[in-house]
């Protein structure tokens, strides 16, 4: 048996979003990706991590949080990438869509969020009851009061050369009452562009999801 790929059209309360599912044989869980500021489902960093998660036996759903018209607007004025309420509702809507799909009903669910998508992942997890959350270079602080309602085991990953984001993640970690851990990747800046650093992110994320999904 081989990994299957399918393009999907995700209907939420206020939008139809494009996505793609990768499902390895005998997968018991699936990770929904919430991309960060000014990005999309085509984010090369998220796709790299998603490939490793699939190799680890877990499915992935990469999708656009914004419609094409919204993406064009956001590229002009950056007005939507920090709209955590909108991003949270889109992620929660995609999760509810997944719950209605026959092929996905038996799969446990996790979230992987990057940058502002991490805030959306944490806030949506408080609504949707997912099994695990991983944040890469994220802004979990932007989840605000929702942090105290998160119950899913949460892994925060930050580069050692990203001091401002480390501090924001430390503050968010102090707010979380669920099982939570902060991992600092040595030698990495915010985008994990240094050799080997994104591989470390992928390995940490895969291990976390294998444990909790």
pLDDT(27) > 70: yes
Closest CA to 145 of 66, 84, 79, 65: 84
pLDDT(39) > 80: no
Domains belonging to the chain, first-starting first, are 4-212 (3.40.50.1820)
pTM: 0.95
CA distance 196 to 110: 24
pLDDT(40) > 80: no
Q: What pLDDT is attached to residue 78?
A: 80
What confidence tier does 169 reach under pLDDT thresholds 50, 70, 90?
very high
């Amino acid at each position: 048996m081989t990994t299957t790929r399918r393009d999907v059209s995700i209907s939420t309360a206020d939008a139809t979003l494009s996505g793609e599912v990768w499902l390895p044989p005998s997968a018991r869980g699936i990770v929904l990706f919430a991309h960060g500021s000014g990005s999309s489902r085509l984010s090369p960093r998220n796709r790299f991590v998603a490939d490793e998660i699939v190799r680890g036996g877990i499915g992935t759903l990469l999708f656009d949080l914004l419609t094409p018209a919204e993406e064009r607007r956001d590229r002009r004025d950056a007005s939507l990438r920090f709209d955590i309420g909108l991003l949270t509702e889109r992620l929660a809507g995609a999760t509810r869509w997944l719950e209605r799909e026959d092929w996905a009903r038996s799969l446990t669910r996790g979230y992987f969020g990057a940058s502002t998508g991490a805030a959306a992942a944490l806030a949506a997890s408080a609504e949707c009851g997912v099994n695990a959350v991983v944040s890469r270079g994220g802004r979990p602080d932007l989840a605000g009061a929702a942090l105290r309602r998160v119950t899913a085991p949460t892994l925060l990953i930050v580069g050692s050369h990203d001091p401002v984001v480390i501090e924001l993640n430390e503050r968010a970690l102090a707010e979380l009452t669920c099982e939570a851990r902060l991992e600092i990747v040595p030698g990495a800046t915010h985008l994990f562009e240094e050799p080997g650093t994104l591989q470390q992110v992928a390995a940490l994320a895969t291990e976390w999801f294998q444990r909790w999904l």
